[in-house]
Amino acid sequence: MKIYTKTGDSGYTSLFGGERVLKSDSRVEAYGTVDEFNSNIGHLRDLITSEQHKKVLLKFQNELFVIGSHLATPNSKKKLKSGKNRLNIEEISPEHILYIENEIDKLNETLPMMTHFILPGGHPTVSYCHIARNVCRRVERNCVELNENSEVDENIIIYLNRLSDYLFVLARKLSQELKVEEIKWNDK
């Protein structure tokens, strides 16, 4: 199988189910940014030494593929006449969101209470965690925008919001593990 099909040379691409749309379509922007975010998580995973953090991030990468698949499928193509999920892949559920919240709580157990805004940085790994968090926020904004015209499962938007929170707390945890001082924002 060749990687190049030439079917996108005119600026159009196919969604799951065959519908052709411009590559600038908000649906393509949303799932394309999920792919970008997933690559950022992969890079972050490569920078981290903790096997536990790597394991959690790998789980999230797999779930981001699920989200991308849902976003790449027009709502009209998601359900079969029987009402079953045409994609034959899992849905993002409240249990996925609860898992993220539990991971945030575990990371927070040993962190000092946050009393100020924190500037991103201090170590390349910490900085990259913040970059990934910001890409996650962009994915979330893309999904909110897509939701204005085409329904996006609310659990996807909640999941992304919670995942960006996780990455913020992970950056704090990485600062602690790497013995890097958190730099407080000076608003003066």
Percent residues over pLDDT 70 in the chain:
84
* Structural domain for 48, as ranges: 25-184
Other Cβ atoms closer than 10 A to 34:
27
CATH number for 45? 1.20.1200.10
Measured in whole angstroms, the distance separating CA 154 from the mean position of its chain's CA atoms is: 14
Other Cβ atoms closer than 10 A to 69:
16
The owner of tokens 């959690």 is 56
25 contact partners, CB below 8 Å, separation of at least 6: none
Residue 16 confidence (pLDDT): 75
Distance CA 85, CA 147 (A): 19
Residue 119 confidence (pLDDT): 93
Per the structure, the count of domains in the chain is 1
Residue type, 104: I
Ranges under pLDDT 70 in the chain: 7-10, 12-15, 17-18, 21-24, 75-87, 187-188
Beta-strand pair 20-22/12-14: antiparallel
- Of the candidates 27, 38, 128, 124, which has an alpha carbon nearest to the alpha carbon of residue 78? 27
Segment 40-87, tens digit of pLDDT: 999 999 999 999 999 999 999 999 999 999 998 876 555 544 455 566
Question: Angle at the Cα of 15 (from 9 to 21), degrees rounded to 5?
Answer: 55
Residue 80 confidence (pLDDT): 46
Q: Please indicate, yes or no, if residue 102 is contained in any of the structural domains.
A: yes
Distances (CA, A) of 138 to 29, 58, 96, 131: 10, 20, 20, 11
